[in-house]
């Protein structure tokens, strides 16, 4: 790729994950990144990102090649198609816009050039694009990173950027693995990250759910980071709540034909160093009053497990507690109608 033009990459969502992805891609020197921001646009546009990273060190006042506060409409703006679009936004079904509507201005439905990379959670998140963008190659991005935006434009990354890239199935496209390998090569070129090919997307996504469907909502509900969760009640919270929830995800995966490693539960319990005191993304969102991804993290595996006849009482409990938290946030944002109080 040396000597050829830089690949054009549009990243939609410049929070804790998207900002590090943009930094890593530009450090690699093979891409020119356009980053679309929302709530942190003004801060980043004026001052850039200030990043304290275990991978990159201290990076102050940094911006990618282009910063925007809206999705490029490539037809109206007469822009060439991007080589890659990387979607890093929260995926919250039922809250508009849909992921398809969000990305369509930069990804025409007749697209056959741009590769879409979904750095989002969930099992079958590519399926809406099969109908609307049948000739678009969609890659799965499994991001395992400890990163938090503590205030607009202020990023702390205290766990390394580990990314697994694989190709979602698409009967209309030949050799999708080669495109996934190309993105892996681009992403890891800066030598600051651990990026590798994942040849079994469904396995990789179920495996991440062992963490995400359990530690994410439990930390958010209890208001505890992953380190304090392990310390709580001399470990009883882990043994009586976290471990059973994780085992239910493992059982649901197996019932759907996905066999995870026998030690995956213990590995996910221990994956974050205790004294990193990492706040998973759902806990960070609850603290900020943001909507949470409970449907993709909990609802998806719960439905898959139920269809396969797996009993998942712990995951079901967590699902409805997270649903209640979401309703509370929606009320605070004026998104639901509340009958007036009797006086």
Q: What is the mean pLDDT of residues 40-66?
A: 97
Write out pLDDT tens, residues 59-79: 999 999 999 999 999 999 999
CATH class of 205-332: mainly alpha
The answer on pLDDT for 256 being more than 90 is yes
Contacts of residue 17, Cβ cutoff 8 Å, sequence gap at least 6: 88, 119, 143, 145, 147
pLDDT attached to residue 1: 47
d(CA 308, CA 22): 39
The answer on pLDDT for 260 being more than 50 is yes
Q: Do the bridges between strand 138-151 and strand 154-167 make them parallel or antiparallel, or are there none, so unpaired?
A: antiparallel
Structure tokens at 104: 């369509």
Q: What secondary structure letter does DSSP report for 160?
A: E
Q: What is the mean pLDDT of residues 205-214?
A: 97
Measured at the CA of 186, the angle between CA 280 and CA 88, to 5 degrees, comes to: 30
pLDDT attached to residue 33: 98
Write out pLDDT tens, residues 224-252: 999 999 999 999 999 999 999 999 999 99
DSSP assignments along 73-94, one per residue: -TTTTTPPPPSEEEE-S---TT
pTM: 0.94
Q: Where in the chain is the domain with CATH 1.10.1040.10?
A: 205-332
Q: Where in the chain is the domain with CATH 3.40.50.720?
A: 7-199
Structure tokens at 284: 């960070």
Structural Rg of the chain based on CA atoms: 20
Q: Does residue 97 have a cis bond before it (omega within 30 degrees)?
A: yes
Percent above pLDDT 70 for the chain: 99
pLDDT attached to residue 343: 81
pLDDT attached to residue 131: 94
Write out pLDDT tens, residues 14-29: 999 999 999 999 999 9
d(CA 119, CA 125): 10
pLDDT attached to residue 23: 97
Write out pLDDT tens, residues 194-204: 999 999 999 99
Write out pLDDT tens, residues 147-161: 999 999 999 999 999
Mean pLDDT over the full length of the chain: 95
pLDDT attached to residue 176: 86
d(CA 241, CA 212): 14
pLDDT attached to residue 181: 96
Q: Give the closest residue to 115 by CA, choosing from 148, 144, 86.
A: 86
pLDDT attached to residue 4: 73
- CB-based contact 89:120 (threshold 8 Å): yes
CATH class of 7-199: alpha beta
The answer on pLDDT for 3 being more than 70 is no
pLDDT attached to residue 2: 45
- CB-based contact 296:125 (threshold 8 Å): yes
């Amino acid at each position: 790729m040396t000597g050829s033009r830089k690949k054009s990459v549009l990243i939609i969502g410049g929070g804790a994950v998207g900002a590090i992805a943009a930094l890593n891609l530009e450090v690699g020197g093979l891409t020119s990144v356009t980053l679309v921001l929302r709530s942190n646009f003004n801060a980043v546009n004026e001052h850039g990102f200030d990043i304290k990273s275990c991978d990159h060190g201290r990076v102050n006042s940094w911006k990618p090649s282009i910063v925007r506060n809206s999705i490029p409409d490539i037809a109206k703006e007469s822009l060439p198609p991007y080589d890659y679009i990387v979607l890093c936004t929260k995926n919250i079904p039922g809250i508009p816009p849909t992921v398809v509507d969000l990305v369509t201005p930069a990804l025409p439905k007749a697209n056959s050039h741009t590769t879409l990379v979904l750095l989002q959670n969930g099992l079958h998140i590519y399926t809406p694009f099969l109908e609307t963008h049948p000739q678009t190659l969609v890659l799965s991005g499994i991001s395992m990173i400890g990163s938090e935006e503590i205030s607009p434009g202020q990023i702390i990354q205290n766990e390394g950027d580990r990314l697994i890239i694989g190709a979602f199935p698409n009967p209309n496209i030949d050799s999708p693995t080669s495109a996934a390998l190309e993105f892996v090569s681009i992403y890891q070129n800066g030598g600051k990250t651990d990026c590798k090919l994942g040849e079994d997307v469904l396995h990789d996504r179920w495996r991440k759910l062992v963490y995400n469907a359990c530690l994410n909502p439990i930390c958010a509900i209890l208001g505890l980071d992953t380190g304090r969760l392990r310390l709580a009640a001399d470990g009883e919270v882990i043994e009586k709540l976290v471990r059973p929830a994780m085992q239910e995800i493992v059982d649901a995966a197996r019932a759907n034909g996905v066999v995870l490693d026998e030690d995956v539960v213990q590995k996910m319990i221990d994956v974050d160093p205790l004294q990193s005191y990492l706040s998973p993304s759902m806990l960070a969102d609850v603290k900020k009053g943001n909507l949470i991804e409970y449907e993709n993290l909990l609802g998806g595996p719960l439905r898959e497990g139920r269809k396969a006849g797996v009993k998942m009482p712990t995951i079901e409990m967590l699902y409805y507690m997270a649903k209640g938290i979401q309703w509370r946030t929606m009320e605070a944002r004026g998104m639901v109608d509340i009958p007036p109080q009797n006086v």
